[in-house]
Amino acid sequence: MRTIKRALISVSDKTDVVEFAKQLSERGVEILSTGGTARMLEENGVKVIPISDYTGFPEMMDGRIKTLHPKVHGAILGRRDNPEHMQAMKDHGIEPIDLVVINLYPFEATIARDDCTLADAIENIDIGGPTMVRSSAKNYKDVAIVVNPDDYKVVIAEMDANNGEVTEATRQRLSRDAFALTARYDAAINRYLSLQIEGPDSFPPTYQQTFLKVQDLRYGENPHQAAALYREYQTLETDVVQARQLQGKELSFNNFIDMNAAWECAIEFEDTAAVVIKHTNPCGVAIGSNQLDVFIKARETDPVSAFGGVLGFNQVVTAQTAEEILKNFVEVVIAPGYEPEALSLFAAKKNVRVMEMPTAKTNPNKQRVDLKRIGGGLLVQNADDITLNRTTLKSVTKLQPDEATLRTLEFAWIVAKHVKSNAIIYARDTETVGIGAGQMSRVDSARIAIDKANKPVDGCVMASDAFFPFRDSIDAAAKSGIRAIIQPGGSIRDKEVIEAADEHGISMVFTGIRHFRH
């Protein structure tokens, strides 16, 4: 262990730094500091030595050059157990620095601004800070590096418990966190510059993304698999990782996946929506004006599958809805809020996981990507965030859908986007009647959707996530009483499929958009 005698403090995020510096000073620690940090500490009664006084070299070039000096890096990198290092430090008048407190120029906050220019971004790339962070982290056996204000109290507590020393175990942990910071910082710069060069719809030659650990999970998809939850460094309020657990058992790996599916589907709709998810697939979706009615309709699409499901709502859950939810076993409920009486009802079922989202409003400016791991590699794509545009729908049959039918087709199409391929949806008005998911053939999905339907499909509309390669699915739909179909189109047999729809008096519209979900 090493006693903290001298500290260098230079921070952009000045949270709690004055109090920390005062505590260090009270414990006899000499404090070196730079620029704005030094001024702030002095104004608050903390005695500091300006870095230019320590190095004998002035800060210059708008602060670009201040800590890039041998007396700084020699004081940090010199190994205390190496006689040659210590002699070199003595020969050149280098006093050891035992504690380095650094956080970096706010590059990520800068580029998040709408008015950020390339020049602004470049000027907010920190050079001296990451250099000191890496130097300190490399020499963690002799130097404690602190990059997070949350660790100020840890350092003080250890100094008090160990006669001014910070344990090697803590210094090693602080070193790891420091390298994580510089890795994230460089990744953010790489992503930003790649966007400037290649544009928002291209992918950089090196894909870097940093995730911060939120929590360990009990296990993964199966009990023999270890698992943890991580979040992106910068997330939106609509991202499910922002959900706050109000009650219930600890969330599992599978709960998070299903919860995300429920939330992503629910917030697709402007009207009040209820979504029931089982094994990542919707097994019931409905929209309308009355939440209780909407939930009952969604659940009754497939009440067997709904048992033990995950529920998503895009509006505050009412007490009436909560009472109805609790008539059956559910794993998770996620919504943007809950009436107080609804929370009281849920409290009687302590195992039900009740999750609250900050908002249900999506952000159209969010650039989202979808990541999928394969053996030895990563597939990266833009998220399937495209929305249906009524003006681009193409009616291709003799029978034209009326306005009410179009609304139902649009509803079914949105649901299909969230169902594993091959996906077939049967819907009436604004509720699902049958859902066929994840089959190897589209005909099988259509058949399963009919078999699982809890209500007659006669008079329903059909949505397919991809085109029909043959007319057989249209013939099967006609036998079941389907009156309208929405699908992407684009098959070499589109003419044959359209002719089949005309033969059966079915209206059909093409979206020109496919929604495969693997």
What is the separation, in whole angstroms, between the first and last Cα of the chain?
53
- Residue 214: CB atoms within 10 A of its CB come to 12
Quick check: is 138 catalytic?
yes
Q: What angle do CA 339, 343, 344 make, to 5 degrees?
A: 115
Catalytic residue among 14, 69, 138, 349: 138
CA distance linking residue 418 with residue 430, whole number of Å:
16
User: For 379-410, b where at least 16 C-beta lie within 10 A, e where not — what string?
Assistant: eeeeeeeeebeeeebeebbebebeeebbbbbb
How would you classify residue 214: left for phi > 0, otherwise alpha for psi between -120 and 50, otherwise beta? alpha
Beta carbons of 305 and 287 less than 8 angstroms apart: no
Which DSSP category does 82 fall into? -
User: For 156-191, b where at least 16 C-beta lie within 10 A, e where not — what string?
Assistant: bebbeeeebbbeeebbeebbebbbbbbebbebbbbb
Per the structure block, which two tokens stand in for 177?
Answer: 């966190």
Catalytic residue among 141, 279, 349, 455: 279
Quick check: is 279 catalytic?
yes
Element (H, E) at 186: helix 168-198
Q: Give, in order, the Cα–Cα distances in Å from 162 to each of 4, 258, 340.
A: 11, 47, 49
Supply the residues annotated as catalytic. Answer: 138, 279
